[in-house]
Amino acid sequence: MSRAPSPAVRADVLATSALSGRKRLRDALLTLVGLALLALLIAFIDAEGTTRFKQACALFAIWGVAAISLNLINGTTGILSLGHHGFMLVGGYTTALLTLPEIRRQQIAESARSQMNDFTLGLSLNNGLRALGLEALTTPETLWIRFLIALFIGGLVAALFGLLVGIPSLRLRGDYLAIVTFGFGEIIRLLASTSLLGPFTNGSLGYTGVPAQIGRSLWWTFGFLALTVFVMTKFKTSSYGRALQGIREDEIAAEAMGVNLAYHKVLAFALSAFFAGVAGGLYTSWLSGARLDYFLFTLTFFFLVAISVGGTGSYTGVLLGTALVVFVRQYGDPLEQVYPLTTWFAAAGVLVLLAAAGALVLRSRRRLRPRVPPLVLVVGAVGLAALLFALVAPSFGLLQGSFQAFGMRAILLALLLLTIMIFRPEGIMGRAEFSWAWLLREHRDRPSDEERAQDAWLTNPELNPDRTAALRNLREPDPQAERRDDQKGAR
């Protein structure tokens, strides 16, 4: 099933080609100013923000790294991968183990000893970890170096797993591949809970004590986010990135154009897994511990929501979506508290009424068939009835008691994802990226001043006497007209 490239993609291509030197300079300056403003904002939040808000921002940066890395597979390459929590788990545990003091690591291995024989214990990687020489870096001044090295190694180990998962992607497509990546993620999680890996993971109990000064610091986390965005945007416009986009649009055509499918797909998986591993390391540092239930499928679901809502393939959109998900998650507590039943009924009634009213307005203003189906009225009546019932019930002694809606946040996110998928499958941003030209309302698919001047020269008979010849060279043959001629001939 092939799709024509969206107008956004074409506009993007034109935008890069029609960039004059002056505008390039202006964009670079604007970018610098923007980055400086962002740095000021981060400094302000770091100094003035509440702990809760700072935590939300750090989580945004960490999940942003993960969501952007997932976007490389799901958005740019067009492969649905659902095993990202597995990569994060690998990177997270590796980083956590490498930053833990050796004594603590020894304790974890000891607590697993009861289930293990000496042979398995002898295989323990503790000696190998010691050989890395990271134990020298334990003072607070040098710990960050150790953390960076650990993050890098964690990313590399996750990338190895990415290679492993990428290999089935060469033979499988679509839904099968999605389920296999999911299976890999779950296998990693289930294996980590077994006693085989007990010395490293401490079973499903996990452990605490991972140094948190990088994971919770806004500068570090936003630094990693900036690094990821930089690498990924560069990658997207490189020849590799364009090959991946070609794979997304049409695999068979891309292969016919000389794209090595196997190499590029596995490369996408490995790079994505690397950044997912880094995000996992940051995540364990942020939570100052590693536990199996930090890495449930829920994580991948959240990233999927972020990507789909923001725009599949657009890094700006992914960051928007991540911000939405993180803030719903962090500030959604009021949704899950205990309220009287009447409040719930009234809220449900109001929501249903609002939905019905929205449908009424949208349906009656439609250009084609502006007709209100009776179902909308029925739904509205049900909402009104619920609202009235909630108002009247207490005086009859009904609806007494209260109710706590566990899981309301996830329900909201799921409904949001559903709505986006039905009404705007490409997400808020589509495949468009943020650009200064867009912000300044410049349309780059229109001719620039330079091109206009050229056209004027070409069409000016005094300056250019042979203009018909020049124009003939300029003007491309109209494919529509040709097709029309063909059809006439066929008839």
Whichever of 80 and 350 has its CB closer to another protein, that residue is 80
Tokens of 388: 């009235």
**Which residue in the set 171, 366, 452, 484 belongs to the binding site for another protein (CB under 8 A)?**
171
**Which residue in the set 93, 147, 182, 269 belongs to the binding site for another protein (CB under 8 A)?**
182
Hey, which residues between 73 and 92 contact another protein (CB under 8 A)?
Answer: 78, 80, 82
Q: What is the DSSP string of 158-220?
A: HHHHHHHHHTGGGT--HHHHHHHHHHHHHHHHHHHTSGGGHHHHTTTT-EE----TTTS-HHH
| Interaction of residue 178 with another protein, rule CB under 8 A | yes
Tokens of 443: 């349309």
| Interaction of residue 200 with another protein, rule CB under 8 A | no
The answer to whether the beta carbons of residues 72 and 240 sit under 8 Å apart is no
**Which residue in the set 87, 301, 303, 315 belongs to the binding site for another protein (CB under 8 A)?**
301
| Interaction of residue 194 with another protein, rule CB under 8 A | yes
> Taking each helix axis from N to C terminus, what angle separates 84-99 and 261-287, rounded to the nearest 10 degrees?
50
**Which residue in the set 60, 161, 184, 283 belongs to the binding site for another protein (CB under 8 A)?**
184
Shortest gap between Cβ of 5 and another protein (angstroms)?
Answer: 15
Tokens of 342: 């009447």
Count CA atoms within 13 Å of residue 374 on its CB side: 0
The closest alpha carbon to 90, from 221, 268, 274, belongs to: 274
Query: Which amino acid is residue 26, in one-letter code?
Result: R
Whichever of 1 and 4 has its CB closer to another protein, that residue is 1
Whichever of 183 and 209 has its CB closer to another protein, that residue is 183
User: Residue for token digits 């001719």?
Assistant: 447
| Interaction of residue 1 with another protein, rule CB under 8 A | yes
Whichever of 355 and 470 has its CB closer to another protein, that residue is 355
**Which residue in the set 103, 136, 338, 422 belongs to the binding site for another protein (CB under 8 A)?**
422
Q: Which range, of 39-47, 122-130, 303-311, 319-327, touches another protein by CB under 8 A?
A: 303-311
Query: Which amino acid is residue 463, in one-letter code?
Result: L
Q: Which range, of 130-138, 260-268, 269-277, 405-413, touches another protein by CB under 8 A?
A: 405-413
Q: What are phi and psi of 8, to 5 degrees?
A: -60, -40
| Interaction of residue 176 with another protein, rule CB under 8 A | yes
Tokens of 324: 């939405």
The closest alpha carbon to 429, from 301, 313, 302, 303, belongs to: 313
Query: Which amino acid is residue 80, in one-letter code?
Result: L
The answer to whether the beta carbons of residues 210 and 96 sit under 8 Å apart is yes
Neighbour count for residue 459 (Cβ, 10 Å):
13
Query: Which amino acid is residue 419, in one-letter code?
Result: T
Residues in a beta bridge with 338: 404
| Interaction of residue 308 with another protein, rule CB under 8 A | yes
DSSP-assigned letter for residue 75: I
Measured CA to CA, the distance from residue 207 to residue 288 in angstroms comes to: 9
Interface mask (CB under 8 A) for another protein, residues 119-158, using x and -? ----------------------------------------
**Which residue in the set 168, 209, 289, 340 belongs to the binding site for another protein (CB under 8 A)?**
168
Measured CA to CA, the distance from residue 123 to residue 120 in angstroms comes to: 5
| Interaction of residue 172 with another protein, rule CB under 8 A | yes
Whichever of 178 and 261 has its CB closer to another protein, that residue is 178
Q: Which range, of 139-147, 212-220, 230-238, 415-423, touches another protein by CB under 8 A?
A: 415-423
Neighbour count for residue 257 (Cβ, 10 Å):
10
Q: State the residues that interact with another protein by CB under 8 A.
A: 1, 3, 78, 80, 82, 168, 171-176, 178-180, 182-184, 186-187, 190-191, 193-195, 252, 297, 301, 304-305, 308, 398-399, 405-408, 410-411, 413-415, 417-418, 421-422, 425
